[in-house]
Amino acid sequence: MTTLQIDNNDIERILQQYKKKLDYDKDRYHNKLKTNPTFIEKNRSRARDYYHKNPNKKKEYYEMNKETITKKNKINYYVKQNKLDVLEKRYPELYKYGLDTNMFTTYPTTDISS
Protein backbone atom coordinates (compact mmCIF):
# COMPACT_ATOMS: atom_id res chain seq x y z
CA MET A 1 0.00 0.00 0.00
CA THR A 2 1.35 3.40 -0.91
CA THR A 3 1.04 6.39 1.34
CA LEU A 4 0.42 9.89 0.15
CA GLN A 5 3.35 12.19 0.78
CA ILE A 6 2.39 15.83 1.25
CA ASP A 7 5.03 18.42 1.98
CA ASN A 8 4.60 22.01 3.19
CA ASN A 9 4.52 23.41 -0.35
CA ASP A 10 1.57 21.17 -1.25
CA ILE A 11 -0.29 22.14 1.90
CA GLU A 12 0.34 25.81 1.21
CA ARG A 13 -0.86 25.44 -2.39
CA ILE A 14 -4.03 23.59 -1.30
CA LEU A 15 -4.82 26.27 1.28
CA GLN A 16 -4.28 29.03 -1.28
CA GLN A 17 -6.58 27.28 -3.76
CA TYR A 18 -9.24 26.86 -1.07
CA LYS A 19 -9.02 30.53 -0.05
CA LYS A 20 -9.15 31.62 -3.69
CA LYS A 21 -12.28 29.51 -4.27
CA LEU A 22 -13.98 30.94 -1.16
CA ASP A 23 -13.22 34.48 -2.31
CA TYR A 24 -14.47 33.70 -5.82
CA ASP A 25 -17.72 32.17 -4.52
CA LYS A 26 -18.30 35.06 -2.12
CA ASP A 27 -17.68 37.62 -4.84
CA ARG A 28 -19.88 35.72 -7.30
CA TYR A 29 -22.75 35.59 -4.82
CA HIS A 30 -22.59 39.27 -3.86
CA ASN A 31 -22.05 40.61 -7.38
CA LYS A 32 -24.03 38.22 -9.59
CA LEU A 33 -26.39 35.85 -7.84
CA LYS A 34 -27.79 38.00 -5.05
CA THR A 35 -29.59 40.30 -7.47
CA ASN A 36 -30.47 37.65 -10.09
CA PRO A 37 -34.28 37.12 -10.05
CA THR A 38 -33.94 33.48 -11.15
CA PHE A 39 -31.57 32.69 -8.29
CA ILE A 40 -33.76 34.53 -5.80
CA GLU A 41 -36.84 32.55 -6.86
CA LYS A 42 -35.01 29.21 -6.75
CA ASN A 43 -33.58 30.00 -3.34
CA ARG A 44 -36.97 31.04 -1.99
CA SER A 45 -38.67 27.93 -3.37
CA ARG A 46 -35.94 25.73 -1.83
CA ALA A 47 -36.44 27.42 1.54
CA ARG A 48 -40.23 27.18 1.23
CA ASP A 49 -40.03 23.46 0.41
CA TYR A 50 -37.76 22.80 3.37
CA TYR A 51 -40.10 24.75 5.65
CA HIS A 52 -43.11 22.71 4.51
CA LYS A 53 -41.31 19.36 4.68
CA ASN A 54 -39.99 20.00 8.20
CA PRO A 55 -42.73 21.83 10.08
CA ASN A 56 -41.77 20.61 13.56
CA LYS A 57 -38.00 20.84 13.27
CA LYS A 58 -37.65 24.29 14.92
CA LYS A 59 -40.09 23.32 17.64
CA GLU A 60 -38.21 20.08 18.37
CA TYR A 61 -34.88 21.91 18.46
CA TYR A 62 -36.29 24.48 20.86
CA GLU A 63 -37.82 21.82 23.10
CA MET A 64 -34.53 19.90 23.23
CA ASN A 65 -32.47 23.03 23.98
CA LYS A 66 -34.98 25.13 25.91
CA GLU A 67 -32.90 25.28 29.08
CA THR A 68 -29.71 26.30 27.26
CA ILE A 69 -31.48 28.90 25.13
CA THR A 70 -33.10 30.43 28.22
CA LYS A 71 -29.76 30.57 30.03
CA LYS A 72 -28.03 32.21 27.08
CA ASN A 73 -30.80 34.77 26.62
CA LYS A 74 -30.70 35.73 30.29
CA ILE A 75 -26.89 36.00 30.29
CA ASN A 76 -26.94 38.07 27.08
CA TYR A 77 -29.43 40.45 28.66
CA TYR A 78 -27.18 41.14 31.65
CA VAL A 79 -24.06 41.36 29.50
CA LYS A 80 -25.63 43.90 27.12
CA GLN A 81 -26.90 45.91 30.08
CA ASN A 82 -23.36 45.72 31.54
CA LYS A 83 -24.77 44.38 34.82
CA LEU A 84 -22.65 41.30 35.42
CA ASP A 85 -22.48 42.10 39.14
CA VAL A 86 -26.29 41.91 39.36
CA LEU A 87 -26.24 38.61 37.47
CA GLU A 88 -23.64 37.23 39.87
CA LYS A 89 -25.75 38.22 42.91
CA ARG A 90 -29.14 37.08 41.60
CA TYR A 91 -28.13 33.96 39.69
CA PRO A 92 -24.79 32.60 40.95
CA GLU A 93 -25.23 29.25 39.15
CA LEU A 94 -26.04 31.08 35.90
CA TYR A 95 -22.99 33.31 36.36
CA LYS A 96 -20.84 30.20 36.82
CA TYR A 97 -22.37 28.70 33.65
CA GLY A 98 -21.47 31.89 31.77
CA LEU A 99 -17.89 31.69 33.02
CA ASP A 100 -17.60 28.00 32.11
CA THR A 101 -18.89 28.58 28.58
CA ASN A 102 -16.89 31.82 28.01
CA MET A 103 -20.03 33.82 27.28
CA PHE A 104 -18.65 36.94 28.93
CA THR A 105 -15.65 37.18 26.63
CA THR A 106 -17.74 37.43 23.46
CA TYR A 107 -18.91 40.96 24.25
CA PRO A 108 -16.62 43.93 24.82
CA THR A 109 -17.05 45.31 28.29
CA THR A 110 -16.49 48.95 29.13
CA ASP A 111 -14.72 49.88 32.31
CA ILE A 112 -16.43 52.90 33.87
CA SER A 113 -13.62 53.60 36.37
CA SER A 114 -11.04 54.52 33.71
Q: Are residues 55 and 78 in the same domain?
A: no
The model carries a pTM of 0.52
What's the CA gap between 78 and 85, in Å, rounded? 9
Q: Is the pLDDT of residue 2 over 90?
A: no
Q: Are residues 56 and 81 in the same domain?
A: no
Inter-residue contact 36 to 30 (CB < 8 Å): no
Residue 31, in any domain of the structure: yes
Residue 20, in any domain of the structure: no
pLDDT tens figures, 11-64: 999 999 999 999 999 999 999 999 999 999 999 999 999 999 998 998 999 999
Q: Are residues 36 and 54 in the same domain?
A: yes
How many distinct structural domains can be found in the chain?
2
Q: What is the per-residue pLDDT for 114? A: 45
Residue 14, in any domain of the structure: no
Q: Are residues 52 and 71 in the same domain?
A: no
Burial state string for 62-76 with b = 16 or more CB within 10 A and e = fewer than 16: eeeeeeeeebbebbe
Q: Are residues 58 and 36 in the same domain?
A: yes
Sequence-separated (6 or more) residues with CB below 8 Å from residue 103: 72, 75, 76, 79, 97
- Give residue 96's domain range: 67-100
Residue 17, in any domain of the structure: no
Q: Are residues 48 and 72 in the same domain?
A: no
Inter-residue contact 91 to 74 (CB < 8 Å): yes
Q: Are residues 52 and 73 in the same domain?
A: no
Mean pLDDT confidence for 59-72: 94
